[in-house]
Amino acid sequence: DAKTTQPPSMDCAEGRAANLPCNHSTISGNEYVYWYRQIHSQGPQYIIHGLKNNETNEMASLIITEDRKSSTLILPHATLRDTAVYYCIVRGDPNDYKLSFGAGTTVTVRA
């Protein structure tokens, strides 16, 4: 699996968009980019995933660069409840979807 690099932490103002970067320069053509988050000590929560195209769902948007070497998760209107550790994970093996979590980005949303 491709390795990912994320900033260790970032702050965001409540109500503003939070843009979380992820670098995955060694990603291969069949690997997907997944985003999960973990609020305090709860179980990780799936946010979104994508292969090449930008994706949007009710939680967030995922923007993947054309060369696929980096991506950005966008939380459009951050709330205090979005304070969490956000993980960018690259997965490709269709027969095995175990997730390899790194340290992620600790996002603190401030009022």
Partner 1 sequence: EPEVTQTPSHQVTQMGQEVILRCVPISNHLYFYWYRQILGQKVEFLVSFYNNEISEKSEIFDDQFSVERPDGSNFTLKIRSTKLEDSAMYFCASRIIYEQYFGPGTRLTVT
Contacts to partner 1 by CB under 8 A: 32, 34, 38, 41-46, 49, 95-103
14 vs 44, beta carbon nearer partner 1 = 44
Pairing of strands 105-110, 9-13: parallel
Q: Is 75 exposed, middle or buried (0-12, 13-18, 19+ CB in 10 A)?
A: buried
> One-letter amino acid identity for 4?
T
Smallest gap from Cβ 10 to partner 1, in A, equals 19
Smallest gap from Cβ 44 to partner 1, in A, equals 5
Smallest gap from Cβ 91 to partner 1, in A, equals 9
17 vs 97, beta carbon nearer partner 1 = 97
H/E element holding 102? Answer: none
